[in-house]
Structure 1
Amino acid sequence: DVVKFAFLMTEFEADVIRATASPSNTVVSKMPACEIQYSPQLCQEILLVNEVRTMNIQQPVPSCILLQISDELDAAESEAILFLCRDNSSKTNVRDLLEDINDYSSPIPFGLAEVLYVIKRFDLLKKYLHTSKATVENLLKSRSSIPFSYRSLMVGISEQLEESDLESLIFLLKDHMRSGGKLKNKTFLTLVTELEKMNLIHPGKLDLLEQSFQNIRRIDLKNKIIKFKQQQTAPPPRYTNAFGVPRSNQRVLHVPVRPGKAIHFHKDSLPVQETGGFDQQTEAERYVVRKETMGFCLIIDCVGNDASLLENTFKSLRFTVRTDRYCNVEHLESILKDVANMEQHKNHDIFVCIIISRGTSNSIFCIDSCSLGFSLDRIKHIFTGKSCPDLLGKPKLFFVQNYIAQEDEDLDKMIEADGPTSACAHSPKIPVEADIFWSHCKVAERYLHQSPSLPSLYFTYLSQLLNDVEKRKQMHLLDIHTELNRIICHRQEGCNIYQQHTLTKKLFFYPC
């Protein structure tokens, strides 16, 4: 009854209640001809309800409201919410997922308002978040989140597909799926998820879906795909954010304000961007990197000085790290093939392979004393998209610290290259495939003997650059590598870094 009564008092000011929260006070409400005696307990109850009513939806919603929202969702709506958050969460229970969305420390970059808007539960927006469809719609227009826009598009299409259309789509696309068209749940979103796992569709790759809608004569849905693609290739507007917060991290904010009231921000609560603008990177310009599952890093240290440093660096970047120490050539090949065949790659956005060993310009010896070595070319070919389909379209990075064993080899003739077309007679050739980055640091073995227990300068400074959050935000991989090369050239004589790449986008070690 207290709750119902408090909701009836729509215009009653909470500060008036606070001022009168004592047994002796009598408060005349704005309801006609109604004098009410308030006890402290009643006032506290009303204050609690009033805070829920007028809460900023950027703040966590009480668990009781989350429970009520989840209870009002049907199976299709629950599936849509799980699909919307697939890039940021692996949760399969919608109630658990709503808790994550409600937790602003989670990697999910949008809130309950956006989710309820996309699944068209405008009644829940009004009932529980006390905001309107128009309010959320207007605020969403200022956002530029391609993954969220893409998933919202797929949810919208699923609502417009007839059952016969879905049957036709599954029949058309069954040869593209591992399951042969046998879906666990026969829904459009399940179909899209299966195609995503095969890397057949993603926000920048929708031709297959567009052609399929053409084939089943759903031109209206084909046009939606075309419109989305055009929007993503359009030049992004220059954006100045008064709070200096990236758009991808902003959530819809609605604050109910009564007449005569003002909104105040603490001066220390948000960073202020005083000058300049913010250029929103588009999907076409940078690789997709998620905070939760940034990448997989394989470290093979046959010298023993760098593994611990590199483990700490990549774990801090939220990489899954595997480290193998002191392996021979035969074991190395087994390790590489095992890692290449892991299904885990489909859950990660970046693959990193790091090798530290003695060797020649074209091969590594591992711990073998008498060996022809393991060809560096073979390492790269094991992880091409053709050999490892789960890495297709994803950046594959190789960092090699090679201590050249032959003292008579002329290191000064080693050429440093800065692009995908550079060549060097002493360096392995990069496979003719996109999305590969190769960095090969060559130094004479005598430098290893001079500091037998210290990490290499190459990986020491690479780790320093990657651990710098501001540099990771502002500098993509090629810029970081250029900075690394500059530092090494000034710090270690006789050290040569050879670089090649076929990257097609900018790679930032920071979630987009």
Structure 2
Amino acid sequence: MSTNIHKLLFRVSEALVEDDLAALKFLSLEHIPLRKQEAIQEPKAFFQALQEKGLIEVGNLAFLKELIYRINRMDILGKLLLSSREEMERELQIPGKAKVSAYRQLLYGIAEDLTPEDVDSVKFLLQKQIPKSKLQDNAPMLTVLLEMERNGVIKEDDVTTLKDILKGFRADLKKKIDTYEEETKGNVSEEKLCYPTCMSVNPAGQGAEEGTQARLLVESYRMENNPHGYCVILNNYIFKNPEGMRKGTVKDGEALKRVFKWLQFETVEYMDLEANQMYAKVKEYSKKDHSKMDCFVCFVLSHGEKDKIKGVDGEFVNIKDLLSCFSGSNCPSLAGKPKLFFIQACQGSVGHPAVTLKEDFSDHLETDAVPLVSIPDQADILVGMATVEDFECYRHAKTGSIYIQCLCDKMELLCPLRKDLVTILTEVNKEVGRAVLNGWKQMPKISSTLRKQLIFQIPQSQSTEN
């Protein structure tokens, strides 16, 4: 069965041309970050990336069919994927079936409809917002749209600039954007979430505000300093018991350092600590002066048991003890500021049952046995766990843990879109929960007493690709 799907993907890749690959990559940006896409130069590598994400697997080619349908390669859809335009149109009308976002569909449709002369006009009108070097004469419209996204000119909830540009010479496409905005206007703003509205209690006929609704808005934590705070990574790789070696965890450390340095955190990694050293290191950072910091982040990557994390000496430290170091009384300079803890570790020794099976990683997956976390009764603390209580979580011996790698991917993908942290972690839950690993499932968990949205600020002069 595995051989058959590889043969099929080979035949599909052979039928695609260069422009097709660019279109497929663009339509998949919500699933594969641009940083990873830039290394993909041919269709086979693209399909491999989709397989690693669990988006193509034996018995499930829905996303592949959708992509081929959206780039209008009906010959491939019919001959190789045994589907049709009519079948796809019916399928994609079912709520939740489409994996390509409405935003990405809109941009791709606009790019397809523009003539070369139209594209030149768009480039000319963007000269004040995008460096001229990025608007070369031969740059296709998809590349121009990517540059607009990189520079914050357009985003999922704000395509006003693109609409203003097009309305002067392509009123038909301006109307497409109007339709998109109308259909998505009920979505919650990325920067301000609205609670259910409260009806006015003014008696009828009293004042101009009669019948109006008051909105309660969720504030955002201030993220104004540089650095925003410390990102401390406690990464246990080599244990005194040789059987405890956590292969792949070095890759996790590399990914976390890359992402949080980009997010303007003072990032430091400590390798192979004993249990008392782990506690001492966390306590050391709780005693620092964070008055000029916005936030604190700590990652703990190790083995463990329920409620506890194992040091390389085989001894344990309680997770509650680590968290208590950052209570308001123990760390007053972080009072009212977000404290984030992420635990890559199992919370039991049982595999989480799966409904369906898939191939990825089965030869190289290991487990990290660890804890159930209980949030202390203080505000502004978030704990992200790799799995729910009583179950194992998985780490690839070559590429790193499923949870940490997915978290880093989603941060790089969604932070530039100003998604808040809880939204990002929910996306991580969705993606990790979708995969089947060694025949089992893994379901991450978010425990939060955050009182505001946490939106990471991206340096204006940087991008994930740098």
TM-score (norm 2): 0.46
TM-score (norm 1): 0.43
- The structure having more radius of gyration, on CA atoms, is 1
Higher relative contact order (CA 8 A, sep 6+): 2
